[in-house]
Amino acid sequence: MQNPLYAPYAGNLDTIPFKSIKIEHYKPAIVEAIEMAKAEIEKIKNNPVPASFENTIAAYERGGELLGQISSIFFNLNSSKTSDEMQQLAQELSPLLTAYTSKIQLDEALFIRIKDAYNNTEKSELDAESTYLIEKIYKSFVRNGANLNDSDKSALKAISTRLSQLSLMFSENVLKDSNGYEMWLENESDLAGLPNGAKEAAKLMAKGKGEENKWLVNLDYPSYLPFMKYAENRSLREELFMAFGTRGCKDNDFNNEETLKELAKLRHEKSQLLGYKSYADFILEERMAKSPDNVYKLWNELIEEAFPKAQEEIAEVQAMADKLNGPNPMQRWDFSYYAEKLKNEKFALNDELLKPYFKLENAISGAFQTAEKLFHLTFKERQDIEKYHKDVKTYEVLNSNGDHIAILYADFFPRASKRSGAWMTSYRGQNKYDSKNQRPITSIVCNFTKPTESKPSLLTFGEVTTLFHEFGHALHGMLANGHYESLSGTSVFWDFVELPSQLMENWCYEPECLALFANHYETGETIPQDLVQKIKDSMNFLSAYQTVRQVALGQLDMVWHNLTAPLAEDANVYAIEKESGAKTELFPEIEGIATSCAFSHIFSGGYSAGYYSYKWAEVLEADAFEYFTENGIFDGETAQRFSDYILSKGGSADPMELYVGFRGQEPSTAALLRKSGLKS
């Protein structure tokens, strides 16, 4: 039978035939696609015509197209619909792909050809996007060791292969350790304080495992967060908190301590081989931040304003705990519980009051309507597009002329085969090869509370902002309109990629936007204005604490990735974390918890030496949204500028150049400090 992955798109919309793809199809397809990609490279190398932009740079850009498509399908599904068999296959395929990439990047004859094209091309005759591409491709070879001697090339190849294995291993350990914990409750009194929706979800989860008269709580966010925020039983909160906090660092088969130390050690070795002081220096060369010094400068500016205010916020929550005869001092597993009590007292606002107005389907509609008003897009649900799981929704995206713009998959509910958190991803990028505009296939994946027997999926306000966040990433992918796929959509510097996503969250706080979709799921009543005002008033509740926490996580990332000397053989993860958090610690230390061991963002999610990017992007989005508010949040001209300079351009130019094109000036931290209430 023909392997469907050899032609991975089908039907009039060129979508993925998920139903035809079996696990046994992946390996032969990837092996074959690697051979095809190698043949394409050989053709470039052996071309007797002198190297030029078209026959070398543009040809290289298009090489391995099928391999990229098949790999995207496999690794996206390994995150959203995995299995033991798939994870095992990932461990087999990752080294093959890494070996192929390393071989290409270290191919001396290919690099000579690339270098000739780079040196012989008259840059002034290229358009801006082509100029950016030739610079990027040449630099990527240099950054991947093309100028190294044979011995160092071999060492680099071995390091890259091992890093890809370790990264996968880290991610799988976190998933397995998370899935291995379940808190079974037999007495309803143990759920005292929990909203009915959370109780019902716990009951439904237990029922799904064959237990009729029990409740089940696990470490998935829709289960974990409500329990930490509302459960009156302090000892159970502590148990759940410790289970979550010790993921990856317990004495079991899924312990990540040695894995992460080897990752940090090898990343440092890689940077040294390539001539950089640290892995952070290597990474940040290709970021807006440019250097570790600029990252620390950002943190110092934020911490100076935030840390004293965060201490005041903690003291205020402690006062609430004292008032309710709670523990003094609070522990970490008490903080969410008493913070929620304080929030209720200050704003008379809680998730349960808001959730009836945020039915999932309405929130999706709200995101779509926002995009329609800003960018003139229409989202048409299609039942004829194959999906990889029954819970997935599929949409065709059209512009104001009714032209096809993109396909969007939306996958909203947790399951054991899906990693936790929320993300946007791409199954196929956008390009303009062969005089066609290939439109993208994009996906957003979240883990929201599932509908129960009596209620639809009702989102917390935090989940609404998560939806808008991932939708912002999706817009960046869907509105891409560049020529070269490697510069298109979200293929931008990591500290720039969060700008569209974090910017979109701002609309969730605006009455004009909430009026589009925030209707009570039973009565249809639009969310009352006093609740909208409370949402705005509470926007900066614990903002200093959250700022300090983000900076602390960013500093922990840098501790592992800004090493300028090899990591000591006897390095202790707990001691390193303690030293890292000395200037940002707001709570007593808890023995046995090591955040690093489950810090998937930096050890398996692409954010190594890049976790600061969230705060960096917040600086950009606060500045950008001030521009929107000056002109009106649905102002067509401002939205058009954002689309023209940011969303459609992708990574086709330096991001600061693009930002200044949109905004007319460079950003500063002032707008973020104002937005966060840390400075007037």
For residue 618, pLDDT over 90 is answered with yes
What percentage of the chain has pLDDT greater than the value 70?
Answer: 100
In a domain, 333, yes or no: yes
DSSP state at residue 440: P
State yes or no: is 396 an active-site residue: no
Residue 307 and residue 315: Cα distance in Å, rounded?
12
Cα 406 versus chain centre, distance: 20
In a domain, 167, yes or no: no
Per-residue model confidence (pLDDT) at position 12: 86
Six token digits for residue 67:
């391999």
Amino acid letter, residue 384: D
Per-residue model confidence (pLDDT) at position 453: 84
**Are residues 405 and 443 part of one domain?**
yes
The dihedral sign for the CA sequence 448, 332, 610, 268:
negative
In a domain, 499, yes or no: no
Residue whose tokens read 């391995």: 64
Residue pLDDT, tens place only, 234-254: 999 999 999 999 999 999 999
* CB neighbour class for 17 (10 Å; exposed up to 12, middle 13-18, buried from 19): middle
Alpha helix stretches (DSSP H) within 46-149:
59-62, 65-80, 84-105, 108-120, 128-143
**Are residues 338 and 365 part of one domain?**
no
**Are residues 648 and 556 part of one domain?**
yes
Q: Tell me how far CA of residue 172 lies from CA of 89, 163, 352, 376, 656, in angstroms.
A: 12, 14, 34, 41, 36
What percentage of the chain has pLDDT greater than the value 90?
Answer: 92
Per-residue model confidence (pLDDT) at position 38: 97
| Structural domain range at position 403 | 356-494+514-528
In a domain, 502, yes or no: no
Residue pLDDT, tens place only, 441-487: 999 999 998 898 889 999 999 999 999 999 999 999 999 999 999 99
Report CA Rg, the chain. Answer: 25
Residue pLDDT, tens place only, 155-172: 999 999 999 999 999 999
Q: What is the distance between the terminal CA atoms of the chain, rounded to a whole angstrom? A: 67
| Domain of residue 143, CATH code | 1.20.1050.40
Average per-residue pLDDT for the chain: 95
Six token digits for residue 35:
């051979």
| Domain of residue 433, CATH code | 1.10.1370.40
In a domain, 401, yes or no: yes
Residue pLDDT, tens place only, 547-604: 999 999 999 999 999 999 999 999 999 999 999 999 899 998 899 999 999 999 999 9
Q: Tell me how far CA of residue 91 lies from CA of 18, 64, 73, 213, 427, in angstroms.
A: 22, 21, 16, 40, 21
pTM of the model: 0.84
Per-residue model confidence (pLDDT) at position 352: 87
| Domain of residue 271, CATH code | 1.10.1370.10
Residue 617 and residue 72: Cα distance in Å, rounded?
26
**Are residues 408 and 342 part of one domain?**
no
Per-residue model confidence (pLDDT) at position 351: 86
In a domain, 383, yes or no: yes
107, 140 Cβ separation under 8 angstroms: no
Residue 450: Cβ within 10 Å count:
18
Q: Which of these is catalytic: 61, 129, 463, 470?
A: 470
* Number of structural domains the chain divides into: 4
Residue pLDDT, tens place only, 508-539: 999 999 999 999 999 999 999 999 999 988 98
**Are residues 521 and 390 part of one domain?**
yes
**Are residues 362 and 342 part of one domain?**
no
In a domain, 164, yes or no: no
In a domain, 131, yes or no: yes
**Are residues 480 and 372 part of one domain?**
yes
For 537-560, the DSSP string reads HGGGTTHHHHHHHHHHHHHHHHHH
**Are residues 105 and 20 part of one domain?**
yes
For residue 679, pLDDT over 90 is answered with no
Using alpha carbons, select from 671, 548, 664, 547 the residue that is nearest to residue 621: 671
Residue pLDDT, tens place only, 360-388: 999 999 999 999 999 999 999 999 999 99
Give helix then strand counts, H and E, for the chain: 27, 7
**Are residues 461 and 431 part of one domain?**
yes
Using alpha carbons, select from 593, 596, 557 the residue that is nearest to residue 267: 557
Per-residue model confidence (pLDDT) at position 1: 54
| Interval 655-679 mean pLDDT | 93
Q: Look at residues 147, 164, 194 and tell me which one is the last residue of a structural domain.
A: 147
Residue 646 and residue 659: Cα distance in Å, rounded?
7
Q: Look at residues 484, 506, 528 and tell me which one is the last residue of a structural domain.
A: 528
Residue pLDDT, tens place only, 408-445: 999 999 998 998 889 999 999 999 999 999 999 999 99
